Amino acid sequence: MKRHFALATILMACAATCFAQAIFGEKPRLVVGVVVDQMRWDYLSRYYDRLGDDGFKRLVTQGYSLNNCLINYIPTVTAVGHTSIYTGSTPAFHGICGNNFMIDGRKTYCTQDDSVQTVGSDLPRGKESPHHLLATTIGDQLRLHTDFRSKVIGVSYKDRAAILPAGRSANAAYWIDTKHRCFITSSYYMQELPQWVKNFNARMSTDQQVKAAGENIGLSPLCGTLTTDMAIAALKSEQLGKGAETDMLCVSYSQTDVIGHKFSTRGQHTDDAYLTLDKDIARLLQALDEQVGQGNYLLFLTADHGGAHNWRFMQEHRLNGGPWMADEIVRQAEAHVANLYGNQKPVILKNLDCRYFLDRQGIKEQGLDYQKVKDAIIEVLRQAPHAQYVIDYEHAATQSLPGFLRERVLLGYNYRRSGDILYIPEPGHYEYGPWSSPIGTTHGVWNPYDSHIPLLFYGWKISHGATSREVHITDIAPTVCQLLHIQQPNACIGEPISEIVK
């Protein structure tokens, strides 16, 4: 009896050991992150009957769909979204507080880095790096885990959409120089483009369609096709997924955002962008099948934010919506402060992404009280038409706000970079000024049209299915990291999605 019990114990221990080895020893050969800029969740349904079988539809019918994925911070803009996807964190911790923000009173572009040089052209647009990023990404953790043997590469039309997802330790990030019709990088990554990139650029620069599109290529679906071509070239030329360690490819499609800002959520331009993208995703999946092998790669597709319907379109259909006249409100606020305190110089440095950045140094030099100036501006904002909430960032934790909104405000607030005042317009209203397209749109607020995004997992160890359980953009990174059995990014606040990691 004892012998049978001992044998059973040994067998159970062996089975447990084999099970542990199977879990921890298995890994995909490649992880692919796909971000579609400004893609609303409902676009999957809107275009579904017009999609081919091998692009978006393949991911839906063979992968797992998280149908209630929400962005859990404000503002919902490109740089923040891309960073949050790959860090599992928010501006409060990863430090990327917008496409532009202020550091020490200076307007700073999210990837601006004057210490590096452009590689691949002579334009200053290549002076970019992830040095403002405070947290690690999935790719950084993968590189750390493998003692930097894994390769991580980012590709996009936009610099920030290539650089921030790939992380600080990436092997490369490539983005498009529209003037010279080529992909470029910076000396942060390398001193000279690889020969395969030079060859790709030589073909791209002489392509007649690319020439015809010119510097407006971001407004053409061709931009997504070029991004796909470049991603496939990187996949093959860098032999991603062919080595002993898991590699990562970060691909972001930006033309959907450029076209959305210009033409909004409806019409032929937007339709063409998504239907062409569907074909490009099919080509990317086919290349992954051929290069890495079906079932050998893990892919997720999501968005950095959504987009509002054009306010004129909303009004035409008797729906709530309208412009938030940001510049006019700034003028009113400045006049109010000057009338109260007699200051001769402006007190507002910038208005960025529904946030006012005050000139703290200038306020001090003029002998004004910072809190009183801020309160005066808040008074004007609260009286502005269609203002729903106006928030003193430093006191947001104690202001009268709905709980979910307070959490999103705090998760989006970085004391050193986010500014002083946040205003939230009524649903359907968004910033409008001379820079805006009258038939276009924008994004940036908490509402579902900006914060409800698609999230699809496909490939390695992913079963077909769907759920409407609420998950967050910050849950993507810890989910991928758990599947890879690597540590989460170092500022991660998300949780692994149980339906995916099981």
**pLDDT above 90 covers what percent of the chain?**
90
The rounded distance, in Å, linking the Cα atoms of 172 and 165 is: 11
- Residues 183-221 have pLDDT tens digits of 999 999 999 999 999 999 999 999 999 999 999 999 999
pLDDT at residue 14 in the model: 46
Assess whether pLDDT exceeds 70 at residue 149.
Answer: yes
Paired tokens of 246: 């898991």
CA 117, chain centre distance (Å):
24
pLDDT at residue 433 in the model: 72
pLDDT at residue 270 in the model: 97
Task: Over range 472-481, report the average pLDDT.
Answer: 98
Question: At which residue do the structure tokens 């004007």 appear?
Answer: 380
pLDDT at residue 339 in the model: 95
Strands (E), 346-420: 348-352, 355-358, 387-392
Assess whether pLDDT exceeds 60 at residue 4.
Answer: no
Assess whether pLDDT exceeds 60 at residue 19.
Answer: no
pLDDT at residue 363 in the model: 96
pLDDT bin (cut points 50, 70, 90) of residue 474 is: very high
Task: Over range 295-321, report the average pLDDT.
Answer: 97
pLDDT at residue 18 in the model: 41
Give Cα separations from 377 to 137, 345, 383, 387 (angstroms).
37, 15, 10, 13
Assess whether pLDDT exceeds 90 at residue 416.
Answer: yes
Flag the least confident range among 346-355, 434-443, 471-480. 434-443
The rounded distance, in Å, linking the Cα atoms of 124 and 144 is: 31
Task: Over range 48-59, report the average pLDDT.
Answer: 98
Assess whether pLDDT exceeds 90 at residue 142.
Answer: yes
| Cβ–Cβ under 8 Å, residues 307 and 450 | yes
Assess whether pLDDT exceeds 90 at residue 358.
Answer: yes
78 is catalytic: yes
pLDDT at residue 434 in the model: 67
pLDDT at residue 23 in the model: 67
- Residues 288-297 have pLDDT tens digits of 999 999 999 9
pLDDT at residue 123 in the model: 82
Paired tokens of 451: 């914060």
Task: Over range 405-419, report the average pLDDT.
Answer: 97
Assess whether pLDDT exceeds 80 at residue 1.
Answer: no
| Cβ–Cβ under 8 Å, residues 90 and 411 | yes
Task: Over range 168-195, report the average pLDDT.
Answer: 97
User: For the whole model, what pTM was predicted?
Assistant: 0.94
Assess whether pLDDT exceeds 60 at residue 12.
Answer: no
- Residues 123-137 have pLDDT tens digits of 877 899 999 999 999
Q: Establish how many alpha carbons lie within 13 A of residue 437's alpha carbon, considering only the half-sphere containing its beta carbon.
A: 16
**pLDDT above 70 covers what percent of the chain?**
95
**Helix, coil or strand: residue 224:** helix
pLDDT bin (cut points 50, 70, 90) of residue 20 is: very low
Q: Which candidate in 9, 17, 78, 178 is catalytic? A: 78
Sign of CA dihedral 49, 54, 58, 61: positive
